[in-house]
Structure 1
């Protein structure tokens, strides 16, 4: 399996290094020499690339019927979204998140995404850097700007790594996306090669995939999606992720993630369903775990009621994620957008988690963009 992963990495690396520069960039070496010289000694009045910055803020309040959990206000993530078009076919994207942790509001900064993208045409877009993996639908559609999410919080299976998530939400590597030729714009693909996630105890922050890979095996992810031209907003798709992870110095775990989804999203209506099968294979044992959600919302003017069923079923004996535990929740809420770029959400949750069943809770969230 390691040989298969290495072959996949070599193929994608060959495409990105050999094929893309000759077809996308196509500049002679003298041009690069001139660019490097100008960067070292910029001409008077020379303009650099234009950069656009957007910020997404969040303030929350939550309460639970559990006596040991006090009701509390909290700051969510402050997400800084930076983009720049270097040329018509080359762009840069960065997402930087600042989090204020209670009670002393100590600020923690994370570089969540940083990627350089070359767009050859609709059929071939290649990005290199740190990105959100293309597992399923939700992770590539919703990032750290919570303004664009209808309910409060991500589905449990798509929680971020440093928040106890079970997926490799972030990856460091190369991703290729585009439309499959001769299908109009209906059939799309994604292919990714990355370091994979470094699995450590949840309490240890900053240990996902920022550093060098822990082994030679690279993670790979492939997916396809279908968007019928006659049904705008509808999409179905599937993806498959695989990686080999060291459990000890002498043993490894094969990690597979299969995902399937169907969504229908318009400005006023949202219907989403997604299911994932997480498989961990060790010597002599195979562990299957499932996660997914069903979500619906409908807008009437500035009001948008919503519902989500959220489920994560974890075998406690599973390597790396067994201690996270299973989870089930019914969530009913209402979102109000009083003015442009400001949203207020309030929701009721009934959850089963950590051996406690039927726990009632309420959450509110103020989201805004500036």
Structure 2
């Protein structure tokens, strides 16, 4: 039992401790409030970032046959907001927020990229946050702004996860890289350690990881000094995809390995450009003991004539059907398509595009999987400012 005097002392001791900061604040010659009131003094030594703001947008119409793939119609495309900020000579902050259609009659807001990068020189940088993976050159070149792309549609290989893509297009983690001048040309290298893919394809694991295993990716690109219009390289990616306990077919881990090659050519004199990629994806499913091998590739050729740019692209997906990770969204089905299009620059920072596509592909229906002809058409107005 505590005596009455001892009890009072015990109570007063923490109260005195709590009051001490307020007493010191009152006695201080310059309070924190006074510092905030005098904004010039408070921010005098604080270096503010240099901010840049840019918007990309697009609207359009599309048609696709057979109707089981999509209905024709007009639609809101996207609004892409990019903010960059630099602090000093070495620190860069980046944010990309996208507003786009998300379903039959809904529009969603998505934080696509957000990272901080410290750059010592062109030879070395260190980045942390959310960005695009290196498993596709297209993915790292054009990102989300539709005006940046000559075409309306992205290649099958570089289709985003939430649009039915089979490859991981985003990551959350740490990236390092740089451009090294070596004998014969320039070597652009990138290495990434990140959260892996989620239990389903559209789960990017942006705020955590479902397992302790981390994804590792590497890209090497070489530009010959004697022929700097050409760049070619390789990329690779490994990951351990966790099970999806809500799906009876996904009760085990899936070991994923991706290997790709790419090349691009840009001739400033003639306005001719081409870009091509090939990726092979291997999924080892622990639950069934089955290995699934997938191949995706494309080749796009274009040439600019002042404000007009005609283009064509061949796309191909050769997939092992029944992959439990890709089949829920029909990403395990074969398909090829030839696309032909025309882009017209109608103003500085605005373009009108029209393209048609024809091909054949597997379609999963009530009667199983069947092969059908595929015809597409699209019109798009894209801009940036």
TM-score by length of 1: 0.83
2:65, 2:134 → 1: CA distance?
37
> Per the alignment, do residues 266 and 132 of structure 1 end up closer, same or farther by CA in structure 2, a change over 3 Å counting?
farther
* 2:147 alignment partner, SS class: helix
Equivalent residue for 1:222?
A: 218
Q: Say if 1:136 and 1:238, in contact at 8 Å, map to a contact too.
A: no
Q: Say if 1:179 and 1:185, in contact at 8 Å, map to a contact too.
A: no
Q: 1:336 and 2:344 equivalent?
A: yes
Q: Say if 2:150 and 2:343, in contact at 8 Å, map to a contact too.
A: yes
| Structure of larger gyration radius | 2
Q: Say if 1:136 and 1:237, in contact at 8 Å, map to a contact too.
A: no
Gaps of 5+ in 2: 1-31, 246-250, 364-369
* 2:360 alignment partner, SS class: strand
Equivalent residue for 1:29?
A: none
Tell me the CA shift for residue 312 of structure 1: 1.3
- Aligned Cα root-mean-square deviation (Å): 2.2
* 2:224 alignment partner, SS class: coil
- Aligned length, in residue pairs: 327
Tell me the CA shift for residue 356 of structure 1: 4.5
Q: 1:169 and 2:169 equivalent?
A: yes
Equivalent residue for 2:76?
A: 75
Equivalent residue for 1:348?
A: 356
After superposition, residues 109-188 of structure 1 pair within 5 angstroms as: 109-180=109-180, 182-183=182-183, 186-188=186-188
Equivalent residue for 1:231?
A: 227
* 1:213 alignment partner, SS class: coil
Gaps of 5+ in 1: 1-36
Q: Give deviations 1:158-182, integer Å, cap 9, x for gaps.
A: 1111111111111000011112364
Q: Say if 1:336 and 1:344, in contact at 8 Å, map to a contact too.
A: yes
Q: Give deviations 1:101-160, integer Å, cap 9, x for gaps.
A: 5764x3311100001000011221110000001113111111000111111111112111
Q: Say if 1:170 and 1:209, in contact at 8 Å, map to a contact too.
A: no
> Per the alignment, do residues 59 and 266 of structure 1 end up closer, same or farther by CA in structure 2, a change over 3 Å counting?
farther
Q: 1:85 and 2:76 equivalent?
A: no
TM-score by length of 2: 0.80
Q: Give deviations 1:83-104, integer Å, cap 9, x for gaps.
A: 1111111101111000145764
